[in-house]
């Protein structure tokens, strides 16, 4: 009996409490349809104010299908444009959000922003103050992608149109969080923020831009470099020979030192960058044929193990050894080469190509950018016992003097579905000694812009 009364009493108190809480209101309660969700944020140097901020807002009715439900079905095209873009000039990010709320009816919620697009001009002036502002805010996600473009972000974001997806958010996630192309790194704002603050690594961002080409003729106008092939990784975002409805291209890496951008890497350098950091997944490498015929061998190169890196200090200069452990499959052999007879030769050729590329890339980071984007300093840290010693050593000032030694291990593992090609010319083809290929390829091989 008494027990019941006790529970009744507890119940009464609970009810009272809940009622009083309910009366005081649900302060943070927001309906989903009372909010506007930007999918991308663009930051640029402003004219009317310090910062020009662009928000790409999702238009749910055209993305999520109409409210009626019956006709909503197919794709994003049904209700018009899936996004709406707003640009404001503002002193800072958060005051910009305030200003945007004057324009649009719904409250801005940044929790679904996928990407932050920064103009090259702003990036060169330094963006650490904006990055830390975003890291402090609870709505900005730490896994937002960070992209640098040559074009103004407002133009860039207006150009974004996702054809394959109804939802631009999915477009960003699939494009920038990819693991099937390695021509640009995966750059997330949390890592960027950490890298700004760290001594042993420098931040990077994805390089992206608008590819303005409207027709194939414009590709033709890019000119032709004779009969030899050009490596597909030599391009940067804006100059890719492609025509597409999709104007935005991600290709290459923006290199930062501290919070400031100091340069760019093209596609193939980005591949090297990821190989050295161990985040490389796989990509196709075009290797000149050892027969010297102008044909190529296409190799799907995979990184199975993380690279082993050691740093030695000799005469005040860091000697950095990077050991890459790669393997690959044939995907195409254009010539009639009996590849199974010369695996070593082909492997050596691949090794040479990769090593050359990686070494050049590393030298460039040290000499041209003076920015340890690969985080090679991390392997120096172990030589110190305490943090003070490490800080006193001042790695960033040493990095530019680094000497690089790249060792590549490469093994061909598989050959695809065809284990042995039986072309008619095969038997007639001249037997090539593995020695004869030397020297032939380097002169024809282009290393991109440098």
| Shortest CB 32 distance to other proteins, Å | 5
Measured CA to CA, the distance from residue 269 to residue 252 in angstroms comes to 7
Q: Which of 29, 215, 225, 397 binds other proteins (CB under 8 A)?
A: 29
User: According to the binding rule CB under 8 A, does residue 68 interact with other proteins?
Assistant: yes
Nearest to 205 by CA among 292, 155, 130: 130
User: Which residue stretch of 66-74, 90-98, 243-251, 440-448 sits at the interface with other proteins (rule: CB under 8 A)?
Assistant: 66-74
User: According to the binding rule CB under 8 A, does residue 390 interact with other proteins?
Assistant: yes
Region of 370 (left: φ > 0; alpha: ψ -120 to 50; beta: rest) is: left
Q: Which is nearer to other proteins, 170 or 234 (CB)?
A: 170
Q: Which is nearer to other proteins, 135 or 421 (CB)?
A: 135
Q: Which is nearer to other proteins, 375 or 448 (CB)?
A: 375
Q: Which is nearer to other proteins, 79 or 294 (CB)?
A: 79
In degrees and rounded to multiples of 5, residue 39 shows phi and psi of: -100, -25
User: According to the binding rule CB under 8 A, does residue 439 interact with other proteins?
Assistant: no
User: According to the binding rule CB under 8 A, does residue 66 interact with other proteins?
Assistant: yes
User: According to the binding rule CB under 8 A, does residue 398 interact with other proteins?
Assistant: no
User: According to the binding rule CB under 8 A, does residue 227 interact with other proteins?
Assistant: no
User: According to the binding rule CB under 8 A, does residue 257 interact with other proteins?
Assistant: no
User: Which residue stretch of 154-162, 164-172, 286-294, 310-318 sits at the interface with other proteins (rule: CB under 8 A)?
Assistant: 164-172
Q: Which of 47, 73, 74, 138 binds other proteins (CB under 8 A)?
A: 138
Q: Which of 133, 384, 418, 442 binds other proteins (CB under 8 A)?
A: 384
Q: Which of 46, 49, 64, 232 binds other proteins (CB under 8 A)?
A: 64
Residue numbers 275-314 binding other proteins by CB under 8 A: none
Residue numbers 5-24 binding other proteins by CB under 8 A: 7-14, 16-18, 21-22, 24
User: According to the binding rule CB under 8 A, does residue 200 interact with other proteins?
Assistant: yes
Q: Which of 95, 141, 159, 448 binds other proteins (CB under 8 A)?
A: 141
User: According to the binding rule CB under 8 A, does residue 382 interact with other proteins?
Assistant: yes
User: Which residue stretch of 286-294, 386-394, 430-438, 442-450 sits at the interface with other proteins (rule: CB under 8 A)?
Assistant: 386-394
| Shortest CB 336 distance to other proteins, Å | 43
Query: For the chain, first and last CA: distance in Å?
Result: 90
| Shortest CB 273 distance to other proteins, Å | 16
Q: Which of 177, 212, 416, 449 binds other proteins (CB under 8 A)?
A: 177
User: Which residue stretch of 117-125, 144-152, 315-323, 385-393 sits at the interface with other proteins (rule: CB under 8 A)?
Assistant: 385-393
Q: Which residues contact 279 (CB under 8 A, 6 or more apart)?
A: 185, 186
| Shortest CB 157 distance to other proteins, Å | 16
| Shortest CB 406 distance to other proteins, Å | 19
Measured CA to CA, the distance from residue 283 to residue 300 in angstroms comes to 6
User: According to the binding rule CB under 8 A, does residue 315 interact with other proteins?
Assistant: no
| Shortest CB 389 distance to other proteins, Å | 7
Q: Which of 26, 48, 417, 443 binds other proteins (CB under 8 A)?
A: 26
User: Which residue stretch of 250-258, 328-336, 356-364, 380-388 sits at the interface with other proteins (rule: CB under 8 A)?
Assistant: 380-388
Measured CA to CA, the distance from residue 49 to residue 87 in angstroms comes to 12
Residues in the interface with other proteins (CB under 8 A) total 74
Q: Which is nearer to other proteins, 28 or 227 (CB)?
A: 28
SS3 per-residue string spanning the chain: CHHHHHHHHHHHHHHHHHHHHHHCCCCCCCCHHHEECEEEEEEEECCCCCEEEEEEEECHHHHCCCCCCCCCCCCCHHHCCCEEEEEEEECCHHHHHHHHHHHCCCEECHHHCCEEEEEHHHHHHCCHHHHHHHHHCCCCCCCCEEEEECCCHHHHHHHCCCCCCCCHHHHHHHHHCCCCCCCCCCCEHHHHHHHHHCCCCCCEEEEEEECCCCCHHHHHHCCCCCCCCCCHHHCCHHHCCCCCCCCEEEEEEEEEECCEEEEEECHHHHHHHHHHHCCCCEEEEEEECCCCCCCEEEEEEEECCCCEEEEEEECCEEEEEEEEEEEEEEEEECCCCCHHHCHHHHHHHHHHHHHHHHHHHHHHHHHHHCCCCCCCCHHHHCCCCCHHHHHHHCHHHHHCCCEEEEEEEEEEEECCCCCCCCCCHHHHCCCCCHHHHCCCCCCCCCCCCC
């Amino acid at each position: 009996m008494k027990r019941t009364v006790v529970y009744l009493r507890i119940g009464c108190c609970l009810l009272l409490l809940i009622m009083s809480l309910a009366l005081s209101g649900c302060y943070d309660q927001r309906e989903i349809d009372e909010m506007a969700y930007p999918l991308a944020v663009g930051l640029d140097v402003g004219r009317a104010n310090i910062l020009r901020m662009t928000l790409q807002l999702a238009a749910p009715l055209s993305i999520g299908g109409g409210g009626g439900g019956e006709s909503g079905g197919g794709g994003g095209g049904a209700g018009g444009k899936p996004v709406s873009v707003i640009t404001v000039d503002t002193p800072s990010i958060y005051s910009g959000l305030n200003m945007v709320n004057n324009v649009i009816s719904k409250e801005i919620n940044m929790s679904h922003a996928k990407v932050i697009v920064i103009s090259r001009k702003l990036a060169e002036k330094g963006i650490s103050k904006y990055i830390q502002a975003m890291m402090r805010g609870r709505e900005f996600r730490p896994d937002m992608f960070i992209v640098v473009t040559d074009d103004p972000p407002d133009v860039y974001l207006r150009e974004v149109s996702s054809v394959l997806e109804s939802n631009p958010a999915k477009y960003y996630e699939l494009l920038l969080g990819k693991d099937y192309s390695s021509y640009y790194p995966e750059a997330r704002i949390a890592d960027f923020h950490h890298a700004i603050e760290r001594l042993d690594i420098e931040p990077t961002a994805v390089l992206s831009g608008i590819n303005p080409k409207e027709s194939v003729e414009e590709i033709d106008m890019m000119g032709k470099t004779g009969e030899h092939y050009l490596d597909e990784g030599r391009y940067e975002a804006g100059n890719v020979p492609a025509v597409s409805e999709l104007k935005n291209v991600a290709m290459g890496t923006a290199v930062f030192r501290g919070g400031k951008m100091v340069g760019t890497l093209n596609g193939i350098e980005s591949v090297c960058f990821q190989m050295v950091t161990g985040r490389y997944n796989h990509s196709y490498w075009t290797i000149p044929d050892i027969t010297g015929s102008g044909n190529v061998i296409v190799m799907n190169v995979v990184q199975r193990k993380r690279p082993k890196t050691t740093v030695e200090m000799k005469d005040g200069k860091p000697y950095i050894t990077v050991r890459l452990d790669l393997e690959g499959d044939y995907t195409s052999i254009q010539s009639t080469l009996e590849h199974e007879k010369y695996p070593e030769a082909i492997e050596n050729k691949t090794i040479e190509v990769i090593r050359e590329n990686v070494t050049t890339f590393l030298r460039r980071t040290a000499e041209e950018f003076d920015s340890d984007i690969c985080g090679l300093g991390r392997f120096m840290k172990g030589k110190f016992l305490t943090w003070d010693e490490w800080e006193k050593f001042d790695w960033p000032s040493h990095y530019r003097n680094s000497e690089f030694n790249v060792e590549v291990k490469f093994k061909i593992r598989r050959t695809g579905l065809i284990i042995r090609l039986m072309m008619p010319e095969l038997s007639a083809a001249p037997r090539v000694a593995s020695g004869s290929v030397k020297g032939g390829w380097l002169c024809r091989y282009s290393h991109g812009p440098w």
